[in-house]
Amino acid sequence: MILSISGVVLLGIIVFLFFKKDGLKASHAMVCALFGFYLAGTAIAPSITAGGASLASLLGGINF
């Protein structure tokens, strides 16, 4: 649960930065949000979730 909330916050910050710095239009951000919302309801959603969890585990295992 914490990972998904953190991911949403991170993606929200990235979209906000694109909106402010690179000229992302509000309509583009809305389309991206709707795409993610509808993609979560498809059959590929568990694969995307597993891939995200795997990537988070990989990044979490990196020691500096």
The percentage of residues in the chain with a pLDDT greater than 70, rounded to a whole number, is: 89
Q: Are 48 and 39 in contact (CB under 8 A)?
A: yes
How confident is the model over 7-53, as pLDDT tens digits?
Answer: 677 777 877 887 788 787 888 888 788 778 887 888 888 888 898 88
Task: Tell me which amino acid residue 39 is.
Answer: L
**Cα 20 versus chain centre, distance:** 18
- 56 or 4, greater pLDDT: 56
Q: How many Cβ atoms are within 10 Å of 18's Cβ, its own excluded? A: 15
Domain chopping of the chain, boundaries: 2-60
Residue 5 has pLDDT above 70, yes or no: no
55's CB contacts (< 8 A; 6+ apart) are: none
